[in-house]
Amino acid sequence: MIQRFVYETIDSTNGEAFRLADNKGANLAPFLVLTQKQTAGRGRAGRKWESEDDGLYFSIYLRPSVTIDKAAMLTLVMAVAVAKALQRYIAIQEQTCKQATDGCESSLQILQTLGIKWPNDLVLNGKKIVGILTELRTDDRGYGVVIGVGVNTNQKTFPEELQDKATSLKREMGIPILGEVLLKYIEEIFLQEYTTFEKEGNLVFLKETYETLLINKDKVVRVLDPKGEYQGVAKGIDEVGQLLVETQDKEVQKVYAGEVSVRGLYGYVD
């Protein structure tokens, strides 16, 4: 296990991770910041991340040996790690469930719907359950990365505007999630994959697993490119994590996550 800094409340675990690296020295890497609640949880594209009690909120600070242009791929590495950790968690629950009499198997079937919406949202039953925000900072010795993860574990309700888009594992599966156990699995799986990523410097080793989880695969997507929106069929990812979208004229566009969002034909996913 890597070193942990644990809080009851903090503004943002991403922000705290950078502060700790500044104050205690970047040599502390890798380390993890965990909190029960955030007062200013950060989401992608400058959005806010709802961070009341009952969710799992943490960040991992790293000093990768790969060049800075490769760091964005870490978001996809984390997405796969969280998905695998959830599968492991549920598989273990399932064993316990089989020994119980309350017939929780049906709620476990929902796991079949777990997937990644490119590039890094985890979705269950068509709704978001995990968000990942990767931030970079350069300094005189290179750069540091913070990968922040918010998992909707046990929330009962969501704000009005998120009703159709977000859900929690507990809401979908009817069983409470032990965040501490799930975090242990995520940490273990992520650090293993991170070691491989640092050696290889690309996502070839992860591509097949990622594409199995990719809910957009072979579906029509709308690419919300600031230079002009277009549609196509998502075919998978390339070795650096760009989404491959085949347009009507059979040309394959490579979509880079930075500025562009991808939606289903009618909504967030489908």
Binding site for ligand BTN (CB under 6 A): 12-14, 38, 41-44, 47, 49, 57-59, 121, 131-133, 148-150
The nearer residue to ligand BTN, 49 or 210, going by C-beta atoms, is 49
Q: Which residues pair with 230 in a beta bridge?
A: 223
Min separation Cβ 19 and ligand BTN, Å? 12
Tokens of 31: 């380390």
Q: On the CB side of 174, how many CA atoms lie within 13 Å of its CA? A: 11
Nearest to 111 by CA among 97, 121, 125, 126: 125
Residues 6+ apart with CB under 8 A from 23: none
The nearer residue to ligand BTN, 44 or 170, going by C-beta atoms, is 44
Beta-strand (E) ranges in 12-119?
31-38, 56-62, 115-117
Question: How far is Cα 66 from Cα 200, in angstroms, rounded to an integer?
Answer: 9
Min separation Cβ 13 and ligand BTN, Å? 4
The nearer residue to ligand BTN, 57 or 89, going by C-beta atoms, is 57
Q: Which residues pair with 232 in a beta bridge?
A: 221
Min separation Cβ 128 and ligand BTN, Å? 7
User: Computed over its alpha carbons, how large is the radius of gyration of the chain?
Assistant: 18
Min separation Cβ 15 and ligand BTN, Å? 7
The nearer residue to ligand BTN, 86 or 232, going by C-beta atoms, is 86
Residue nearest ligand BTN (C-beta atom):
131
Min separation Cβ 27 and ligand BTN, Å? 22
The nearer residue to ligand BTN, 13 or 168, going by C-beta atoms, is 13
